[in-house]
């Protein structure tokens, strides 16, 4: 008995020494780091006006922020939201979520909360036919419900994340070799040269639009135009929050996060649509791309990005033709959609930053040269 007790004591001692103490130290320094960031941001907001460059996170602050195990947290959240709920718990729990995030149950195809076996099913709820009409007069429509973070013309290879905070087109999309097969990106290529290399018609310009999906929004995303997808690039990346308050703080946030860049052609040339992952949104599902696997461990996906060609010459895949308004994929919870596309120079958006939009709503002025043409299908 004494020997057994001594063995257990030694085992517990080793466990405390090699496991518990390092964990406590990590927690301590992690907490100190977050406290330092919070205090610094508090001082900035009380010293500098809104959108001041002083409000943008420094490299060391982003480093501390990225220490948080968001990927593990997101997988744990995914497990929790997929846990089966007993029928008696569905109305109170799902009802609380619906009230907290202003979910409109009248729009849901199934408005009875008792029929959703878990929270994840409720996240991915489908809508009734007709509650999201597709604007017939518009060529470019909103791909999802959400809030407009920013939009506009791509300038010298840079895009505005939110007002006053920009990020690089090249860093977001990666090397532009999807048209001609693998090749090395030209050494010393500037951001402007990268931007111009994407244009099919050199008389056009590049435009972008960022839409944030809140937890209460409809979580499926649809095709905003008639186009054909022939390439996908998956960046495993991080899973930082994409809440607008974080987007104002972390420059290049969307280039840091996990994302699936889908590239193809529409009637005016280059078109890309990118669902971006976020904290608790590790799962991005694209219905026509079953090979996409998101929120995996770094051991499973160690490379910076993974490419998949979808051209007609590929043996295991085909191009994905998509019609305007056609369902494309879904998030678990909410996240962000980034559109980058080529259009005539007179293309004009008719949305505002901070505006709530709904899937199928027109994003542009139909008086420009970008107007809906009679469908050929």
Q: Which helix (H) or strand (E) holds 211?
A: strand 205-212
Rounded distance, CA 23 to CA 13, Å? 15
Band (pLDDT 50/70/90 cuts) for residue 300 is confident
Cβ atoms of residues 161 and 251 within 8 Å: yes
In percent, the amount of the chain with pLDDT more than 90 equals 34
Sign of dihedral through CA atoms 10, 12, 13, 19?
positive
Q: What is 67-127 written as a DSSP string?
A: HS-HHHHHHHHHHHHTSPPPHHHHHHHHHHHHHHTT--GGGBS---GGG--SHHHHHTPPB
Rounded distance, CA 290 to CA 285, Å? 8
Rg (CA), the chain: 23
Q: Residue 87 to residues 35, 101, 251, 364, 375: CA-CA distances in angstroms?
A: 41, 22, 44, 45, 46
Higher pLDDT, 141 or 366: 141
Cβ atoms of residues 114 and 90 within 8 Å: yes
Cβ atoms of residues 225 and 265 within 8 Å: no
Rounded distance, CA 239 to CA 102, Å? 25
Cβ atoms of residues 261 and 276 within 8 Å: no
CA angle 246, 70, 160 (to 5 degrees): 30
| Catalytic residue IDs | 145, 222, 335
Rounded distance, CA 240 to CA 254, Å? 9
- Running DSSP on this structure, what letter comes out for residue 259? E
Residues 6+ apart with CB under 8 A from 53: 164
Cβ atoms of residues 36 and 42 within 8 Å: no
Cβ atoms of residues 242 and 254 within 8 Å: yes
Q: Which helix (H) or strand (E) holds 276?
A: strand 269-276
- Is the pLDDT score of 349 beyond 70? yes
Domain boundaries, the chain: 74-124, 141-362
pTM above threshold 0.95: no
Q: What is 117-138 written as a DSSP string?
A: -SHHHHHTPPBPTTSS---TT-
- Is the pLDDT score of 328 beyond 90? yes
Residue 229 half-sphere exposure toward CB, CA atoms < 13 A = 24
In a 3-state reduction of DSSP, which class is residue 203?
coil
Band (pLDDT 50/70/90 cuts) for residue 143 is very high
From the list 366, 256, 232, the residue with the least C-alpha distance to 311 is 232
The segment with the largest mean pLDDT, out of 71-85, 236-250, 334-348, is: 334-348
Rounded distance, CA 336 to CA 211, Å? 6
pLDDT tens digits along 312-324:
655 556 788 999 9
Spell out a b/e string for 98-131, using b for 16 or more CB atoms within 10 Å of the CB, else e: beeeebeeebbeeeebeebebbbbbbbbeeeeee
Residues 6+ apart with CB under 8 A from 67: 30, 33
pLDDT at 215: 83
pLDDT tens digits along 216-260:
888 899 999 999 999 999 998 777 777 776 777 777 778 888 899
- Running DSSP on this structure, what letter comes out for residue 238? B
In a 3-state reduction of DSSP, which class is residue 27?
helix
Rounded distance, CA 258 to CA 295, Å? 8
pLDDT at 166: 80
Higher pLDDT, 337 or 62: 337
Cβ atoms of residues 264 and 354 within 8 Å: no
């Amino acid at each position: 008995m004494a020997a057994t007790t001594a063995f257990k004591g030694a085992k517990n001692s080793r466990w405390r020494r090699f496991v518990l103490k390092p964990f406590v130290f990590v927690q301590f320094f992690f907490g100190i780091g977050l406290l330092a960031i919070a205090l610094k941001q508090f001082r900035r907001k009380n010293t500098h006006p809104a959108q001041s460059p002083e409000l943008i996170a420094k490299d060391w602050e982003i480093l501390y922020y990225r220490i948080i195990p968001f990927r593990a947290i997101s997988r744990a959240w995914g497990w929790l939201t997929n846990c089966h709920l007993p029928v008696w718990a569905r109305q109170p729990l799902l009802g609380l979520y619906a009230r907290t995030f202003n979910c409109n149950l009248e729009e849901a195809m199934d408005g009875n909360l008792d029929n959703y076996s878990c929270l994840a099913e409720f996240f991915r709820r489908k809508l009734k036919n007709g509650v999201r009409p597709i604007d017939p007069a518009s060529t470019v429509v909103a791909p999802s419900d959400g809030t407009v973070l920013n939009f506009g013309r791509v300038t010298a290879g840079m895009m505005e994340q939110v007002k006053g905070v920009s990020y690089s087109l090249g860093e977001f999309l990666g090397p532009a070799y999807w048209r001609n097969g693998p090749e090395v990106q030209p050494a010393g290529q500037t951001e402007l040269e990268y931007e111009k290399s994407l244009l099919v018609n050199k008389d056009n310009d590049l435009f972008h639009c960022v839409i944030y999906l809140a937890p209460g929004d409809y979580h499926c995303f649809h095709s905003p135009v008639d186009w054909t997808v022939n390439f996908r690039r998956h960046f495993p990346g991080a899973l930082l929050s994409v809440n607008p308050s974080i987007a104002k703080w972390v420059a290049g946030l969307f280039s840091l996060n996990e994302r699936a860049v889908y590239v193809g052609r529409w009637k005016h040339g280059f078109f890309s649509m990118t669902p971006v992952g976020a904290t608790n949104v590790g799962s991005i599902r694209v219905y026509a791309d079953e090979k996409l696997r998101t929120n995996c461990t770094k051991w499973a996906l160690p490379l910076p990005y993974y490419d998949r060609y979808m051209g007609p010459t590929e043996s295991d895949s085909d191009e994905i033709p998509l019609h305007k308004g056609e369902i494309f994929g879904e998030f678990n919870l909410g996240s962000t959609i980034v559109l980058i596309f080529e259009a005539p120079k007179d293309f004009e958006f008719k949305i505002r930053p901070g505006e709530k939009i709904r899937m199928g709503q027109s994003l542009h002025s139909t008086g420009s040269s970008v107007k809906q043409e009679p469908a050929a299908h």
